[in-house]
């Protein structure tokens, strides 16, 4: 059992409050009447276990959970082969580099590419 609690009755949304896509996704979900538990990754520090679990739920390596094109990543980090622990520390130190929003409902987890993706779960 993972550290992230999920429910079939609500969607848990991990997002950055500075993200335009996240704001649009939240607005769309609320307009559709979806029950959302909001977790702003800029205000709530995710644990290493939670980050590894999110990557696992998305069937991706933690490396791919980082937006390596984000200006904060480019200015602070160089492209290297980091360990899982290094990736965790990077995301915790600079949460804005994490790809998001990520939506969870029950056993379903998606990386929201467009705001309307939220209805897929």
Q: In this structure, what CATH number is given to the domain that contains residue 29?
A: 3.40.30.10
What's the per-residue H, E or C state across the chain?
A: CCCCCCCCCCEEEEECCCCHHHHHHHHHHHHCCCCEEEEECCCCCCCHHHHHHHHHHCCCCHHHHECCCCHHHHHHCCCCCCCHHHHHHHHHHCHHHECCCEEEECCEEEECCCHHHHHHC
Specify if 3 maps to a domain: no
Any domain includes 6:
no
Q: Could you report the per-residue pLDDT of 38-73, keeping only the tens digit for each?
A: 999 999 999 999 999 999 999 999 989 999 888 888
In a domain, residue 85? The reply is yes
**Domain assignment present for 1:** no
Q: Provide the whole-model pTM.
A: 0.92
Q: Answer for the pair 34, 9: CB distance below 8 angstroms, yes or no.
A: no
In a domain, 92, yes or no: yes
Name the residue range of residue 75's domain.
Answer: 11-120
Is the residue at 51 inside a domain? yes
Encode pLDDT of 64-101 as tens digits. 999 988 888 888 777 667 888 999 999 999 999 999 99
Chain segment 6-43, per-residue pLDDT in tens: 889 999 999 999 999 999 999 999 999 999 999 999 99
Q: Is residue 63 part of a domain?
A: yes
**Number of domains making up the chain:** 1
């Amino acid at each position: 059992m993972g550290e992230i609690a999920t429910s079939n009755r609500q969607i848990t949304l991990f997002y950055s409050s500075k993200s335009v896509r996240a704001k649009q996704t939240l607005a769309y979900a609320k307009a559709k009447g979806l029950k959302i538990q909001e977790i702003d990754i800029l205000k709530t520090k995710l644990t290493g276990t939670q980050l590894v679990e999110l990557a696992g739920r998305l069937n991706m390596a933690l490396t791919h959970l980082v937006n390596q094109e984000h200006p904060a990543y480019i200015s602070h980090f160089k492209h290297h082969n980091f360990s899982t622990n290094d990736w965790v520390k990077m995301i915790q130190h600079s949460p804005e580099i994490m790809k998001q929003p990520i939506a969870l409902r029950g056993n379903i987890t998606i990386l929201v590419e467009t705001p309307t993706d939220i209805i897929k779960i």
